[in-house]
Amino acid sequence: MDTNDPPADGRPPTKRPTARGRPFSQRTEQAIIEATTGLLAERPLSEISLDDIATQARVSKASIYRRWPTKGTLAFDAFMVDFLDRQPLPNTGRLEDDLLATLRNWVSAVDRTATGRALKGLIAEVQRDPALADAWRERFIGPVRARHLLLTERAKSRGELPPGADADLLLDILFGPAYHRLLHAHLPLDESFVRGVVRAIGAAIDAGVF
Amino acid sequence: MDTNDPPADGRPPTKRPTARGRPFSQRTEQAIIEATTGLLAERPLSEISLDDIATQARVSKASIYRRWPTKGTLAFDAFMVDFLDRQPLPNTGRLEDDLLATLRNWVSAVDRTATGRALKGLIAEVQRDPALADAWRERFIGPVRARHLLLTERAKSRGELPPGADADLLLDILFGPAYHRLLHAHLPLDESFVRGVVRAIGAAIDAGVF
Amino acid sequence: MDTNDPPADGRPPTKRPTARGRPFSQRTEQAIIEATTGLLAERPLSEISLDDIATQARVSKASIYRRWPTKGTLAFDAFMVDFLDRQPLPNTGRLEDDLLATLRNWVSAVDRTATGRALKGLIAEVQRDPALADAWRERFIGPVRARHLLLTERAKSRGELPPGADADLLLDILFGPAYHRLLHAHLPLDESFVRGVVRAIGAAIDAGVF
Amino acid sequence: MDTNDPPADGRPPTKRPTARGRPFSQRTEQAIIEATTGLLAERPLSEISLDDIATQARVSKASIYRRWPTKGTLAFDAFMVDFLDRQPLPNTGRLEDDLLATLRNWVSAVDRTATGRALKGLIAEVQRDPALADAWRERFIGPVRARHLLLTERAKSRGELPPGADADLLLDILFGPAYHRLLHAHLPLDESFVRGVVRAIGAAIDAGVF
DNA sequence: TCGTAACCGAGACGGTACGTCTGGTCTTTTT
DNA sequence: AAAAAGACCAGACGTACCGTCTCGGTTACGA
């Protein structure tokens, strides 16, 4: 494989190692990301072709493939820009309130929104593209999880959680049910759902489960 | 729409209303299901084409489309045959033990198995095919949920759960984290995970969350 | 190679050996040939894409590739339909007059005409596509030559040519200069050229060269 | 048009009018020509891309386009270097012997040789690139023809040809059949062919055709 | 028993997206 | 200002897949 191939593991397009030749134009990159974001707001990823993106961005397909190995990795990067900044980390001084704010915020970001549709499409794509799956774990699930672990660390330092608590389990119980309802749409992502999940976790904490 | 079109909502192929003409051959149907199951054991749904299935089953594509409207609905039916029977309903006399057996059983069915890969592929397909999404809710999530509600009903009659308990929330907290780890593969679906989830639910029950 | 691949040596699409499955539609084939002929009348082969042809014929690219392995072989077939019938075989009773009529007819068919442009484009394509080169020799040069050999055979039976005359050489001296001027356009394909070539051949016959 | 654009009509790259800035490196030019010649010896022009040439010559594509406007004109120049010097002008004192030597020499240069393949590829390219067609006539056909006209001029001064003889026709009858067999490969370019053509021309001369 | 409706396998059909390649131009750093 | 390197746009290429349609042929019911 050529050294100038795209990252292939889904890393975002960065500067090439050698500084020789014409560098990547950041205008091109930005146009691609913006076009992708715009199209993702209109329709699901599976109904967007790379030709659509190239046309919309007034860019050649080759310029896209130079940066991203698959449609999924591109959509992933476009999604990240949108999503991550909208997930502020609360700090109420009480874990249960932090979890409530976090989950409520997540729900409002994805429930029947363009972002939510993009997220569902991406999770679908992750199941069919192993390279994207790696990027997804390492560059989405991982960083998001790391941020959320700050909440449990603070709780530990406040004594709300024991020092050795299984924070990963706690966070999966927090988000797992939410992703479940998002993906299967069998029941609404409403306020009573959010409150119920968080109260269950609170009870589990009090009972020393984690 | 022609009366002889396939069910379109994903119902399994049944007898046509009028009995005139040559009836469906059940050998054909069986061959299709078997070929699909066999291919799903080898590789993900996204890498299986309908031509592959037709060739493998020594059947024409038209015979497939006569029965199932999309690849997803066929895969869905093939999956159901495999999956449902492997999910017996426990009856230990104690809710927490029932939940433990149920989740443990689910994990052993899907964790790094062909069934698990098929399930992931199907959930992906569900996100891109609205008709399949309906079938999925009505013919998979719904029935499975109905079976599991028997567990909570029994618990209610035993007094382990209050009569008005939100059993849907309870079940989403049970399965949500498991689907989460299945789809994102960020953490293992191991025994300690299963125990933790069930213990958390037990604590929530004791605290009267549901 | 699959038995249902296109002929690959450029034979025109005929009935598949096995009569199973949906047969080739001759309407489709006709539409493709007509579209190709129409486009060849407008612009040179090198500026016609298969997408153009497919769009013009209201046919999918796959339907074209099912029949012809390359653009050149398709253009070849389209050209043949146009060209061959326009080359009647004269029969004046005197070889030199037959040759004159034949060359004059060829010139009027190709000199600054759509057919001539198509012929030039095809000869160019023949140089870059070995499969087409075979087809060209066997299905164009060969048959045309065979027809022209009738002229020399008749001349032999009339005693105008000796029985063992090298008719191939004679015909190459007849057509070679004409193709030369067609392809290089360094001098006009005018009546004096035609007369000159034929008179030279006449002189060579009289001198017993052939 | 910029004064520093390449000749555009296919003239070979020469010194720029202004002597300012870094001068053309003749090593660059030589490397390009050598790479092109080398690649033309391996495979037909149509299978050689400008990227191939640039890579092979360790030169940038821009450096090529600075000198030649199209791939065809470059190949043309590379071909000329090879070809022209190999076509010495005979001077036997007798026209028919001169023609025989000339044609025999041409045949040995192109019959199943790398030069011959390059020539065929160039003629193909000429049909699709009008600018190259002009260059081809003016810088190849023209000069070569001019040289060959020396043969007929000498013959005229010796009285072998009448003063007003149509030498162009004569030369087209000499080379036309040869190009014909080269391009269509329907019959061999062998000695009997060469002799036959020349004898036919001899007979035509004797008969006063030209 | 015979007609007919609907099945059957095979595979062509139109349409669309893919990922690669090429030609010719442009942009950067280096010489 | 030319050089090498390589990104840029535009768009053709040949392949794959989808869901439908067409063919010759085969059941099995109902008249």
Phi-psi domain of A10 (left: phi exceeds 0; alpha: psi -120 through 50; beta: other): left
Across the interface, which of C123, C175, C209 has its CB nearest the CB of D127? C123
Using the Cβ of A107 and the Cβ atoms of chain B, whether some distance falls under 8 Å is answered with: no
Please report, for residues B57, C17, C18, the alpha-carbon distance to residue C21 in angstroms, rounded to integers and kept in the order given. Answer: 17, 11, 8
Using the Cβ of D41 and the Cβ atoms of chain C, whether some distance falls under 8 Å is answered with: no
Residues near A83 by beta carbon (within 8 Å), at least 6 away in sequence: A109, A115, A118, A119
User: What tokens does B114 get?
Assistant: 């062909």
Comparing CA positions, the residue from A40, A189, A188 lying closest to residue A114 is A40
For residue range A18-58, list pLDDT tens digits in order.
Answer: 567 778 888 999 999 999 999 998 898 999 999 999 999 99
Task: Using a cut of 0.75, tell me whether the model's pTM lies above it.
Answer: yes
CB atoms within 10 A of CB C55: 13
Using the Cβ of C169 and the Cβ atoms of chain D, whether some distance falls under 8 Å is answered with: yes
Please report, for residues A99, B180, B184, B196, D134, the alpha-carbon distance to residue A141 in angstroms, rounded to integers and kept in the order given. Answer: 17, 11, 8, 21, 63
pLDDT higher than threshold 50 for residue A180 = yes
Min distance B91 CA to chain A CA atoms (Å):
24
Q: In the prediction, which pLDDT does A18 show? A: 58
For residue range C44-68, list pLDDT tens digits in order.
Answer: 888 899 999 999 999 999 999 989 9
Q: In the prediction, which pLDDT does B19 show? A: 61
Residue found by looking up tokens 């043949």 in the block: C80
- Indicate the burial class of B99 (C-beta count within 10 angstroms; 0-12, 13-18, 19 or more): buried
Across the interface, which of D133, D176, D184 has its CB nearest the CB of C185? D133
For residue range D87-141, list pLDDT tens digits in order.
Answer: 889 999 999 999 999 999 999 999 999 889 999 999 999 998 888 888 899 889 9
Give the pLDDT mean for A56-81: 92
For residue range D31-63, list pLDDT tens digits in order.
Answer: 899 899 989 888 888 889 888 899 888 898 888
Q: In the prediction, which pLDDT does A13 show? A: 52
Q: Any alpha helices (H) in chain A, and if so which ranges?
A: 26-42, 50-57, 61-65, 71-84, 95-110, 114-128, 130-136, 142-158, 167-184, 191-206
pLDDT tens, position by position, for chain B (210 residues)?
344 445 544 444 444 445 677 778 888 899 999 999 999 988 989 999 999 999 999 999 999 999 998 898 999 999 987 787 778 899 999 999 999 999 999 999 999 999 999 999 999 999 988 888 988 998 899 999 999 999 999 999 999 999 999 999 999 999 999 999 999 999 999 999 999 999 999 999 999 998
Comparing CA positions, the residue from B97, B95, B114 lying closest to residue B105 is B97
E-state strands within B84-161:
none
Across the interface, which of B46, B137, B203 has its CB nearest the CB of A204? B203
Comparing CA positions, the residue from B38, B64, B181, B36 lying closest to residue B120 is B181
Can you give the distance from the CA of residue D132 to the C1' of nucleotide E30 in angstroms? 34
A168–B123 C-beta distance less than 8 A: no
Rounded CA separation A74/A141 (Å): 17
D173–C177 C-beta distance less than 8 A: yes
Pick out residues 140-199 of chain B having their CB under 7 A from any atom of nucleic acid strand E. none
Rounded CA separation C196/C191 (Å): 8
Q: Are C69 and C131 in contact (CB under 8 A)?
A: yes
Q: In the prediction, which pLDDT does C23 show? A: 83
Give the closest nucleotide to D46 (alpha carbon vs C1'). E22
Mean pLDDT score of chain B? 88
Q: In the prediction, which pLDDT does B130 show? A: 87
Q: In the prediction, which pLDDT does B21 show? A: 73
Rounded CA separation C101/C120 (Å): 22
Q: C152-157: long-range contacts at Cβ-Cβ below 8 A with a sequence spacing of 24 or more?
A: C152/C95, C154/C91, C154/C95, C154/C98, C155/C95, C155/C98
For residue range C99-108, list pLDDT tens digits in order.
Answer: 999 999 999 9
Q: Are D114 and D75 in contact (CB under 8 A)?
A: no
Q: In the prediction, which pLDDT does B186 show? A: 95
- Strand (E) or helix (H) holding C37: helix C26-42
Q: Considering only the C-alpha atoms of chain A, give the largest distance between any 2 of them, rounded to a whole number of Å.
A: 62
pLDDT higher than threshold 80 for residue D14 = no
Q: In the prediction, which pLDDT does D25 show? A: 62
Q: Are B178 and B103 in contact (CB under 8 A)?
A: yes
Task: Give the rounded percent of residues in chain C with a pLDDT score beyond 70.
Answer: 91
For residue range A109-145, list pLDDT tens digits in order.
Answer: 999 999 999 999 999 999 988 889 988 999 999 999 9
Residue nearest to nucleotide E31 (CA to C1'): D22
For residue range B138-172, list pLDDT tens digits in order.
Answer: 889 999 999 999 999 999 999 999 999 999 999 99
Q: In the prediction, which pLDDT does C18 show? A: 56
Q: In the prediction, which pLDDT does A6 show? A: 56
Residues in chain C: 210
Give the closest nucleotide to C51 (alpha carbon vs C1'). F12
- Tally C–D CB contacts below 8 A: 153
Residues near A40 by beta carbon (within 8 Å), at least 6 away in sequence: A48, A75, A78, A79, A114, A117, A118, A121
Phi-psi domain of B21 (left: phi exceeds 0; alpha: psi -120 through 50; beta: other): left
Give the pLDDT mean for A164-192: 97
Rounded CA separation A204/A71 (Å): 41
Is there contact between C62 and strand E, defined as CB under 7 Å from any strand atom?
A: yes
Mean pLDDT score of chain D? 86
Pseudo-torsion of CA C171, C172, C175, C181, nearest 10°? -160
What is the end-to-end Cα distance of chain B in Å, rounded?
46
Q: In the prediction, which pLDDT does C131 show? A: 82
Across the interface, which of C137, C173, C206 has its CB nearest the CB of D185? C137
The radius of gyration computed from the CA coordinates of chain C, to the nearest angstrom, equals 20
CB atoms within 10 A of CB B10: 24
Can you give the distance from the CA of residue B21 to the C1' of nucleotide E7 in angstroms? 7
3-state secondary structure of D150: helix
Q: In the prediction, which pLDDT does A191 show? A: 97
A209–B136 C-beta distance less than 8 A: no
Q: In the prediction, which pLDDT does B183 show? A: 96
* Chain D residues touching C128 at Cβ < 8 A: 44-47, 121, 124
Mean pLDDT score of chain C? 89
Using the Cβ of D149 and the Cβ atoms of chain C, whether some distance falls under 8 Å is answered with: no
Q: Are D56 and D35 in contact (CB under 8 A)?
A: yes
Q: In the prediction, which pLDDT does C7 show? A: 52
Residue nearest to nucleotide F5 (CA to C1'): A21
Residue nearest to nucleotide F17 (CA to C1'): B49
Min distance D166 CA to chain C CA atoms (Å):
9
* Chain B residues touching A128 at Cβ < 8 A: 44, 46-47, 121, 124
CB atoms within 10 A of CB C146: 9
Is there contact between B32 and strand E, defined as CB under 7 Å from any strand atom?
A: no
Using the Cβ of D114 and the Cβ atoms of chain C, whether some distance falls under 8 Å is answered with: no
Q: Which nucleotides of E are covered by protein (CB under 7 A)?
A: 4-31
D178–C179 C-beta distance less than 8 A: no
Residues near D85 by beta carbon (within 8 Å), at least 6 away in sequence: none
Is there contact between B60 and strand F, defined as CB under 7 Å from any strand atom?
A: yes
pLDDT band at C152 (very low <50, low <70, confident <90, very high): very high
Give the pLDDT mean for A196-206: 97
Pick out residues 16-75 of chain D having their CB under 7 A from any atom of nucleic acid strand F. 16, 20-25, 28, 31, 58-63, 66
pLDDT band at C3 (very low <50, low <70, confident <90, very high): very low
For residue range A72-101, list pLDDT tens digits in order.
Answer: 999 999 998 778 777 889 999 999 999 999
3-state secondary structure of A156: helix
3-state secondary structure of D187: coil
Phi-psi domain of B8 (left: phi exceeds 0; alpha: psi -120 through 50; beta: other): left
Using the Cβ of A128 and the Cβ atoms of chain B, whether some distance falls under 8 Å is answered with: yes
* Structural domains of chain A in order of their starting residue, each with its CATH number: 26-78 (1.10.10.60), 80-206 (1.10.357.10)
For C173, the closest chain D residue by CA position comes to: D177
pLDDT higher than threshold 80 for residue C69 = yes
pLDDT higher than threshold 60 for residue D79 = yes
Q: In A, residues 1-20, which contact B (CB 8 Å cutoff)?
A: none
* Chain C residues touching D187 at Cβ < 8 A: 168, 172
For residue range C123-151, list pLDDT tens digits in order.
Answer: 999 998 888 898 899 889 999 999 999 99
Cα angle C151, C155, C161 (rounded to 5 degrees) comes to: 125
